[in-house]
Amino acid sequence: MNVIAEFTIIPVGVGESISPYVAECLKIVRTSGLRHELTATCTIVEGELDEVMRTILECHRKVRSMSPRVVTSIRIDDREGESDAIERKVSSVEEKAR
């Protein structure tokens, strides 16, 4: 089952800049081999549900090891027959916006 998941991990009590924490998560996501996209406010990953969840959990644990408190939000899009959905969904909207 292929899914797209959007996740945000916010370390609490570490100051204003969270880019070092995001960078650590990006390393984990890249190592996972999942299709992914980093945005200004979240990371999007695509793949098998178990692998996606395992990767997000690894990111959560990494940030938690660096911060006294962490808030993680996850949104999952689970649609039958989906693959390469990140690029396809963006392309579909871009075509309609012309």
| pTM for this predicted structure | 0.89
Residue 89 binned pLDDT confidence (cut-offs 50, 70, 90): confident
Res 90: pLDDT: 81
Residue 60's pLDDT band (cuts 50, 70, 90): very high
Q: What's the chain's average pLDDT? A: 93
- CATH architecture of structural domain 2-96: 2-Layer Sandwich (3.30)
Q: Residues 6 or more apart from 5 whose CB is under 8 A from it?
A: 44, 45, 46, 52, 53, 56, 74, 75, 76, 77
Q: Is the pLDDT of residue 41 over 90?
A: yes
Contact 64, 28 (CB under 8 A): no
Residue 83 has pLDDT above 80, yes or no: no
Task: Enumerate the domain spans of the chain.
Answer: 2-96
